[in-house]
Structure 1
Amino acid sequence: IYTTVFILIICFTSVLQKPLNSTDAWEQMKIQKAIKLFHIVSCVRFVPRTNQKDYVKFVWSKNECHSVLGQVGGAQDIALSDDCLYKPGYRGAVVHEMMHALGFIHEHQRLDRDCYVIVTGYGKSLHNLIQIAGTDSRFPYDFNSIMHYRQRDYLKGIYGEILGTQDIALSD
């Protein structure tokens, strides 16, 4: 049996420039740890950029962590705030944004999500909770995906919420 392993190479650079006298060595180390985790669990490799035209760039954001969905060409920001970098489980937050840059949507934005979770409130209209047409439901719904928000990720009553699993009777 032959197994072919394909490795996708993504070039990156990191420019976490905060205002005033802030140093970013600690943040750089945290990004490196997240990249190392990503390498352990996937065949995608983020390598330092030399002169590549298309690459992702880790940048500091004052307010939030975010990334454009999929490759846009040229420099593509993965914005990381202190909230992402200094909370427990920060590697998961960084990897989550790296996955967006690769084109992955939130698991709870699948068209079939209502079969698995309950999303309440007017928060359904928020860009992070709305369902996305054309999403692939050929794969099992992954409650443990790093791309799946947990109930605590949205403030109850303000943005709507993800309430947890649907009770699905598989047999009578």
Structure 2
Amino acid sequence: MVQMALNYIQARTCLQFVQSSVAANRIRVFSGSGCYSSVGMIGIVAHEFMHALGVWHMQMRDDRDSYVYIDLSSVPSNLHGNFVKLNSADVINYNPYEYGSTMHYDAVAFSSTNSYTILPYDTPYTRTIGSRTITFYDIKTINDHYQCHAWCGAGSAVCLNGGEPNPRDCTICNCPAGYGGATCNQRPAGCGEALVATGLWQVKQFTFGNAAVTTYRDSYMECNHRVQVSNKTTLEPTAL
């Protein structure tokens, strides 16, 4: 599991993880009473290693009050430190505040009553925070911090839709969610459909999960559906 998480990060950044028992500076991975890192799923492992790489929790950013409301009324006082807001002099916000980051706590984090402790001002994101999916911006933050973008110069891929050249292979791109292909101009590989909108309502049924799978997955399964519309038209999706 640890190696899978490191491989995921390594394949999209300029970082190289080398196993060593003698290096002066190294990260020790062991079986303990909790899951933590000093500063399950692949996303959880990546979360802890990102701490070791210098990344703080998203909700600790100095600008967090513009995006979430913190309610400590149900949090034991000895756990309040998990919600400390960082000083702007101590942190660099390389990228936008991201509710879906693997570095964001969930909405009821550390609550003793399962009550909300973190409330996004954009309320639909209440069920988004706490995700354990490693996002485009999670990877981009590592690349920004370690100046991995300098690895790609002339001749690198020209990425579309906000993508960036992958420092591990500058001929392909790291793509934001919903985009795939070498230059982020395609629907991501894997399950999903390419749909065409019409002037009449169409009903599509999508099944999430697999009842036959009763054990935990190493990672999440993603399905991407892309809807093509004509110029100057508005798409109106409705969930039933």
TM bin, normalised by shorter chain, reads: 0.5 to 0.7
Q: Give the counterpart letter for 2:36 in structure 1.
A: H
The residue that corresponds to 1:51 in the other structure is: 22
Equivalences for residues 78-97 of structure 1 within 5 A? 85=40, 90-97=41-48
The residue that corresponds to 1:24 in the other structure is: none
Q: TM-score, normalised by structure 1?
A: 0.59
Query: Matched residues in 2 for 1:143 and 1:42: separation?
Result: 22
Query: Matched residues in 1 for 2:5 and 2:94: separation?
Result: 29
Identity %: 27
Q: TM-score, normalised by structure 2?
A: 0.43
Instruction: Count residues with an aligned counterpart.
Output: 118
Q: Give the counterpart letter for 1:51 in structure 2.
A: V
Three-state SS of the structure 1 residue aligned to 2:11 is helix
C-alpha distance after superposition, 1:66-89 (max 9, x if no partner)? 1111xxxxxxxxxxxxxxx3xxxx
Unaligned runs of 5+ in 2: 124-240
**Which of 112, 115, 118 in structure 2 is aligned with 1:162?**
118
Unaligned runs of 5+ in 1: 1-29, 70-84, 168-172
Displacement of 1:158: 6.5
The residue that corresponds to 1:142 in the other structure is: 98
Equivalences for residues 70-109 of structure 1 within 5 A? 85=40, 90-109=41-60
Contact 2:108 2:115 (8 Å CA) reproduced = no
Higher CA-based Rg = 2
Contact 1:118 1:166 (8 Å CA) reproduced = no
Query: Matched residues in 2 for 1:156 and 1:162: separation?
Result: 14
Hey, which of these two has a bigger chunk of strand by percent? 1
The residue that corresponds to 1:132 in the other structure is: 86
**Which of 38, 41, 47 in structure 1 is aligned with 2:12?**
41
Three-state SS of the structure 2 residue aligned to 1:163 is strand
